[in-house]
Amino acid sequence: MPSSLFSFAVVGVLLAVGVVAQIPGSNFKDFLLKNMVVNGTIPRSFAIQPVTYYETIPEDQKLHEYTEPQFVATCGGNVSADALNNYTFQTEVWLTTLGLNIYDGAIRCIALSLVGEGKACLNYTVETLVDHKTAQFGDIRGDKECAGVMEYGQCTDPQQAGVCGFCYGDGPSDAAKSLTVNNSYFFRLIGDFWAIEGTVDERCPALKRLWTWNDYKPILGENAWAQLIGPIHNAVLMNNGDINSITDEDPMFILGIQFLTGLEAMAVGNTGAYYYTPRNTWFGYSATAQNIGSTVSIENQASLLGGLKLLYDVINGKTTTQYKSVLPKLQSMITKLTTLILSAYDRDLGFFRQGFTYDPIAGTLNWGQNGEPLFAVDCQTWVSSVLGTRLIDTTFGDATAYNLWQTVKLYANYSCPNGDLCGVGYTFNNISGQVLSGEWTYGAMNWLKIMQNDSDYNSTLIGNLNSDELAMNYGLFTYVVTSTPINNSTESYDTVLYAGSRYWIPFGWFANPLPALASTGWAVMLANSFNPFHLHGYLVGAVADWKF
């Protein structure tokens, strides 16, 4: 494997005045800038290339989750399982074609800020997030007032019109569970257009209704990236790392400080955790889906912990700011959240568990979230990147972090044809086989870089980690780093696919071999050895310097 495969585009550009080195990852800049919604205002999470991609997907690679008819108010009666499954696929197509996951938007922001295009990120942050709107949506936050928790029988919605609102946390009244537009969570997936001309809703095609936007899910993890991690890195990088140059009016403070009020409402008892989503968030017809407001995602907690620590470090490091009074609250949140995340590690299983369900009446939690696998790759890679190698090893024993990586490879490796490691997937391979995730493999490489830099491991272990990092980089360049036209352009742009093949991820979505903002943005961060969980991108755990 030639060494050139292990270094991104650090190339010389011959100019009349001499040779000027490009910023690592600059070759991905055009894709990040140009992959926008046609006639819209926001970037897209994916580019559908080839444009016929979804037309070629066979029936056995579509989700068939419905086996019984369900009442659908829009259609005026019961809808068959086949029609519901057709609608599920139709929804996947349009959400993927036109949507932006706000986590992807944050990754794009960090990557653009690294390659000198921070203004594009700032514009998105202000015009979309601070103004909380897109082209046709005047409000992209889950701020409809709580009118009772449906799961508890406090509110019914026979017309499926969202009349019960979003109920944040376990407050003593509906008013306490309601958040204002500035404190509520953004929807995880946003779009520019509500109704798509030329479509027919597959649930009841005879009525000739248009397909309309249907993803209104305010999720903690995506909001941690969108309201904390992305804007904070944009502000720091645009000010060349000088946090004293960041004004108190910066969007990072507008979003981050207001976000804290929403978090307080979503506290999970005395556990130190924060709920995955408000109650009444629609995730389908099943009883399990109705209970999703009582669940906690450990990956979400890790993202939040990283974001809170970034906010703390900015405020604490500024000579003067009106936000100094927030520091004690952040200190408490960070300490409790770190303790909670550490408790997710199961010594017998040898990995961090994916999530839990909480009973607010009994005050008890049970590990497991909505029947999903207990093992998720990002609950090892991201969690370990945030906690840091030394904290994990001092808490659970020497080389625990290193051994955890061996477990990840055992359960979720993606092998090249010769059997060598070439990347990682999402969860246990024995569920659906191997898959190469562009985004999650870069996340694993970030963790390996941190372990090499932030540990007392001997030269043999460090060498093993370095070899695995290089092997995964080779796998990425071989299978998912590519170039693509955008919106019928005649030119192609360097990008990274979301995954090497279409694959049902048992945490609730399909991976597709499509050019992706998330994978491409992570490629830029790795090209710069930039750890997004640290204020200055250093290769150490986010809470490595925390005093408990």
* CA distances for 249 relative to 129, 130, 256, 401, angstroms: 15, 12, 11, 40
- Tokens of residue 451, six digits: 């372990």
Same domain, 484 and 505: yes
Express each pLDDT in 484-515 by its tens digit. Answer: 999 889 999 999 999 999 999 999 999 999 99
Q: How many CB atoms lie within 10 A of CB 25?
A: 25
pLDDT over 80 at 13, yes or no:
no
pLDDT at 303: 98
Q: Residues 313-348: pLDDT tens digits? A: 999 999 999 999 999 999 999 999 999 999 999 999
88 and 196, same structural domain? yes
- The answer to whether residue 12 sits within a structural domain is no
Domain co-membership, 288 together with 149: yes
pLDDT surpassing 70 at residue 4 = no
Clarify whether residues 250 and 385 are in a common domain: no
pLDDT tens digits, one per residue of 190-203: 999 999 999 999 99
% of the chain with per-residue pLDDT over 90? 93
Task: List C-alpha distances in Å: 177 to 29, 72, 93, 267.
Answer: 42, 27, 34, 11
Task: Judge whether 3 lies within some domain.
Answer: no
- Give me the chain's average pLDDT, please: 95
Domain end: 374, 405, 421, which one?
374
Cα–chain-centroid distance for residue 364?
Answer: 27
Residue-level pLDDT at 21: 72
Number of domains in the chain: 2
**pTM (predicted TM-score):** 0.95
Q: What does the block give as tokens for 150?
A: 């449906």
Q: With respect to residue 10, please indicate whether it lies within any of the assigned structural domains.
A: no
Q: What are the tens digits of pLDDT across the range 265-310? A: 999 999 999 999 999 999 988 777 888 999 999 999 999 999 999 9
Residue 355 covered by a domain = yes
Residue 11 lies in a domain: no
Residue 25 lies in a domain: no
- Residues 475, 418 share a domain: yes
Share of the chain above pLDDT 70, in %: 96
- 418 with 320, same domain: the answer is no
Tell me which of 348, 374, 400 is where a domain ends: 374
* pLDDT value, residue 548: 82
Range of the domain at 91: 35-374
What Å distances lie between residue 21 and 8, 45, 343, CA to CA? 12, 29, 46
**Residue 18, in any domain of the structure:** no
State which of 374, 395, 412 marks the end of a domain: 374
- Same domain for 314 and 349, yes or no, is yes
Look-up: residue for tokens 């202000």? 126
CA distance 513 to 518: 13
Residue 9 pLDDT: 34
Residue whose tokens read 């030269």: 459
Q: Is the dihedral of CA 187, 519, 224, 281 positive or negative?
A: positive
Beta bridge partners of 43: 36
Confidence category of residue 425, pLDDT binned at 50, 70, 90: very high
User: Both 415 and 527 in a single domain?
Assistant: yes
Choice between 20 and 303, residue whose per-residue pLDDT is larger: 303
pLDDT of residue 20: 56
> What is the reported pLDDT for 17?
47
What is the pLDDT at residue 108? 98
Q: Does the pLDDT at position 536 exceed 90?
A: yes
43 and 517 Cβ atoms separated by less than 8 Å: yes
Is 247 domain-assigned? yes
Residues 195 and 216 in one domain: yes
Question: What is the CA 83 to chain-centroid distance, rounded?
Answer: 30
pLDDT of 18 strictly over 60: no
Same-domain pairing of 181 and 150:
yes
**What is the pLDDT, as a whole number, of residue 7?**
37
pLDDT (average), residues 215-234: 98
**503 shares a domain with 404:** yes
Same domain, 391 and 321: no
Q: Is the dihedral of CA 60, 66, 71, 73 positive or negative?
A: negative
Cα separation, 399 vs 488, whole angstroms = 50
Give one word for 99, left, alpha or beta, with left for phi > 0 and alpha for psi -120 to 50: beta
Q: Which of 94, 36, 98 is nearest to 487 (CA)?
A: 36
Q: Is the model's pLDDT at 5 over the cut of 80?
A: no
